[in-house]
Structure 1
Amino acid sequence: MTQLSASCKWSKKSGLIDGNPFQGMASEIKLEKPNGEEEEETNPFTREERDRIIAAFKANRYYERYAPLVEFLFFTGCRPSEALALQWKHIGRQVITFQRVLIYDGRKLVTQDRLKRQNLRKFSINAQLAEIIAAIKPENRNPESLVFPSRESRLN
């Protein structure tokens, strides 16, 4: 439904059709789980697999710069869009506050001051996560700077 709506939106904008009969329809559809099944916990990787993935990033000369981001994603479980929008001001001594996302609006990357399902979420910093943060924390960091900047750092 989402794709049909997007296609009709483009067609309407291009003057090919008068209206979009699919607009808003996707959000009205609620899928039920078969036989009332409960959603099982999702664990896509074992600890060993996780550690091997992180080690592979660290060992690769082209992708080693992404190793801290990959570690952070594994140890927080946050969405990539949340990690990429994270600023140093959102990281405290004991808590990380996720409250922004980095999204592609169809033309460029923009930040949005809201998460996918809530306004913000707080995540406690354990020893492992504190170690990851300490390893990437610049000495003279700007609180407004991104924790995981792009190579171009256009969003800083």
Structure 2
Amino acid sequence: MAGDIKKTVRNTSRESFSREEKEAIIAAFENNIFSPKFTSTPHSFYAPYVKFLFITGCRPEEAIALQWKHVSTDCLKIQFIEAEPSDTGIRGDTKNHKTRVFPCNASLQAFLQSIRPVDLSPDDLVLRSPRGQKIDSHNFLNRCWQPVVKALVKAGKVEKYLPQYNMRHTFVTLALENGVKDKDVAYLVGNSAIVIYQNYASKKRQLTVPEF
């Protein structure tokens, strides 16, 4: 019974954001469009976290656990080795217990170089909380993600609210639409090709039937 419930919940949202919606969300965080005026932590603080999830498709717990020792010195490769879910706070293996190497394109390389501290320790976190600790994904969800995305929906910039985990769905869907082979997309996000079609790939919002 519990397994059936989990499967139902997980399959309720295979939808993804469009490329334009993705850019609107990133811009809203970077520019503090919906950030409260009097706050010690503006939304822009979390812009790197949002951008990283969108452009790598990794799981939030993998991004939270990522350390600079997992990123090559030239920022051309990322090793996803560990994960740290916010609900347990326990660092361990990735969900499938496998290490994967993520090749960085030019934009991801430039992004990593832009946030890389000049003086760092290999064990330093790539993405940090305002206090320099690990990011609490639940805190981020309630204080930042929900307010920003719901405000974008109200403003007509995003069609509908989707959870933060759907940034992963967005990466998978856009990668497939842009010709990346399913087996390669599966490797990049740490799943099998069957799983990405079952749980992550979203159909196009406007379908057309070609002449044949």
TM-score by length of 2: 0.50
Q: RMSD between aligned alpha carbons?
A: 2.4
Structure 2 letter corresponding to 1:51: E
Counterpart in the other structure of 1:101: 83
CA contact (8 A) 2:45 2:130 kept: no
Q: 1:44 Cα deviation (Å)?
A: 0.4
Q: Choose which of 53, 71, 85 in structure 2 pairs with 1:91.
A: 71
Find out whether 1:131 has 2:103 as its counterpart. no
TM-score by length of 1: 0.67
CA contact (8 A) 2:68 2:121 kept: yes
Q: Choose which of 64, 77, 91 in structure 1 pairs with 2:44.
A: 64
Provide, for residues 42-68 of structure 1, a one-character-per-residue CA deviation record: whole Å limited to 9, x for no partner: 660111111100000011152101111
Flag structure 1 segments of 5+ consecutive residues without an equivalent: 3-25, 32-41
Flag structure 2 segments of 5+ consecutive residues without an equivalent: 8-13, 36-41, 135-212
Counterpart in the other structure of 1:49: 21
Mapped partners of 1:131, 1:154: distance in 2: 24
- The count of corresponding residues between Structure 1 and Structure 2 is 118
Counterpart in the other structure of 1:10: none
Q: Which has the larger share of helix?
A: 2
Structure 1 letter corresponding to 2:98: N
Q: Comparing 144-153 with 71-80, which one deviates more in the overlay?
A: 144-153
Mapped partners of 1:51, 1:154: distance in 2: 27
Task: List aligned pairs for 1:4-83, cutoff 5 A.
Answer: 26=3, 44-60=16-32, 61=35, 62-83=42-63
Mapped partners of 1:43, 1:126: distance in 2: 25
Mapped partners of 1:111, 1:86: distance in 2: 10
Mapped partners of 1:46, 1:96: distance in 2: 25
Greater relative CO (CA pairs within 8 A, separation 6+): 2
Mapped partners of 2:120, 2:130: distance in 1: 17
CA separation of 1:105 and 1:68: change in aligned 2, threshold 3 A: closer
Q: 1:117 Cα deviation (Å)?
A: 1.3
Q: 1:105 Cα deviation (Å)?
A: 5.5
CA contact (8 A) 2:61 2:86 kept: no
Find out whether 1:153 has 2:135 as its counterpart. no
Q: Which has the larger share of strand?
A: 1
Larger Rg: 1
Mapped partners of 1:91, 1:54: distance in 2: 22
Q: Which runs of structure 1 show a deviation greater than 4 angstroms over 4 or more consecutive aligned residues?
A: none
Mapped partners of 1:115, 1:136: distance in 2: 24
